[in-house]
Amino acid sequence: MTWLIIPILILGFWLYLTLKRKMKHKTIIGRQVLVKYFDQNTNFETIFPLTGTVTRKIIVDGQDFFVVLFDEPFVYESYDYDKIVIKERHVGYYIGADGEIHVHVCLPRKELIQDKYELTDFDHVVWATIKNQ
């Protein structure tokens, strides 16, 4: 009977994290955020910080990503961008939660008109942090 405790605890923890993620993700759409440089691509040290609005959730390879539309566009490698796509970097720290959340930043290779994409539709360019404004 004690062998059942471990699978039950794992299932309970998984359910808790799933519910927490869904609740935090519900509150982020339409919120103003500050995106700041964190690591991996020093070109973004001069681009960030930028403020923008989380406009919607998209699915990329079955995972939740979020589109951030910036108040001002930026130039990266001779291309103008007004939006990025972000995803949490750490389990248990969700976009929409209070404080700075570490995120992957991806640049779209094409216009974002669908709800579902493949990871190959984006370029991962930098790690950043976001904070609700």
The pLDDT mean for the chain works out to 89
Each residue of 2-31: pLDDT tens digit?
778 888 888 877 787 777 666 666 678 999
pLDDT of residue 98: 84
- pLDDT above 90 for 56: yes
pLDDT at 1 over 70: no
Query: Which pLDDT belongs to residue 93?
Result: 77
Phi-psi region of 23 (alpha: psi -120 to 50; beta: other; left: phi over 0): alpha
In angstroms, the CA 33 to CA 43 distance is 21
User: Is a pLDDT exceeding 80 seen at residue 52?
Assistant: yes
**87 pLDDT exceeds 70?**
yes
Identify the H or E element spanning 20: helix 5-28
Average pLDDT over every residue of 58-70: 95
Two tokens at 43? 């070109």
Exposure b/e, 61-99, CB count within 10 A at least 16 = b: eeeebbbbebeeeeebeeeeeebbbbbbeeeebbbbbee
Mean pLDDT of the 83-89 span: 95
DSSP 33: E
